[in-house]
A and B are shown apart, each in its own frame.
Chain A
Amino acid sequence: MDSELVTASESDTGRKGRKPSSLTEYFETLCPYYIAAGMSYDQFWNGDSTIARAYRKAHELQTENQNFYLWLQGRYFYDALVCVAPIVRALSKAKKPIEYHDQPFQLNTTYSEVRQKQKEKANDTKAKQMMEAFATQFNKKFLEKKGG
């Protein structure tokens, strides 16, 4: 299952979508997004305009972290189900559940590392498929040449 990171949409952050007719319209469209990201109304309209960058980046990191912890929760839940699975199966002879982790997972990885590994794996698969396709084509041509 491919999991896409839940972030504000492109149109929410104002990078894409219908072109606004004025800067005011643009600001008014984006103001709620930045307020949701933690900026005050006064900061957005009257404050140093560069602060918005920090708020946007912080909001992206926050969303990424939130997504990571939701994923982690899913992992714990999955493991818990695996542990109790033997005793909830009707025909199982097991009388005891598998012992659950006595300690939490060691968090020595960040969400972006997980995403990086997923990307690398996907790239490896793609490269393998391309190589296989190339080999098949080469063999086909070789056989045709040999036959003809």
Chain B
Amino acid sequence: MAKQLTFTFEGKEYTLEFTRATVRQMESSGFIASDIETKPMTILPDLFRGAFLAHHRFEKASVIDAIYAQMTNKPALIEALAEMYNEPISTLLDEPETGNVEWTPNW
């Protein structure tokens, strides 16, 4: 099951998810995920908007922006969105189940 983010806004249920098609669409409209380090404030709303493409393609930009403005715990939201965005590619890159060396990042 793909990672999804669900919430209700003004009585409507929303499911945010990224598919390969929506990632492709975002990239074709100029979204570059690696810019998150240099331009986080520009990238994050775009990432949030992109997450609507899979299930709420025709949602108005003004509504999405209003939802974004009211979202609580933004740092966790960013983390969740980044993880979701990464999933369409990470599922293609899984290594074979033969390794036994565990590793931990230091950040």
Which A residues fall within an 8 A CB radius of B?
13-15, 22-24, 26-27, 30, 44-50, 52-53, 56
Q: How far is the CA of A103 from the CA of B30 in the complex (A)?
A: 65
B5 contacts chain A at the CB level, 8 A cutoff: no
Give the residue name and chain of the B residue nearest to A13 (CB). Answer: B92
- Chain A binding surface SS class: helix
- In the complex with contacts A23-B33, A49-B2, A30-B92 CB distance below 8 A: yes
Residues of A within 8 A of B19 (CB): 45-47, 49
B1-30 Cβ-contact flags toward A at 8 Å (1 or 0):
110000000000000001111011001100
- In the complex with contacts A49-B18, A49-B87, A15-B24 CB distance below 8 A: no
* Sample of 30 A–B contacts (CB below 8 Å): A13-B92, A15-B93, A15-B95, A22-B27, A23-B24, A23-B27, A23-B33, A23-B88, A24-B23, A24-B24, A24-B27, A24-B28, A27-B23, A27-B88, A27-B92, A30-B92, A46-B19, A46-B20, A46-B54, A48-B2, A49-B20, A49-B88, A50-B1, A50-B2, A50-B87, A50-B91, A52-B91, A52-B92, A53-B94, A56-B92
Interface residue count for B (Cβ, 8 Å)? 20
B20 touches A27 (CB 8 A): yes
Residues of A within 8 A of B88 (CB): 23, 27, 49
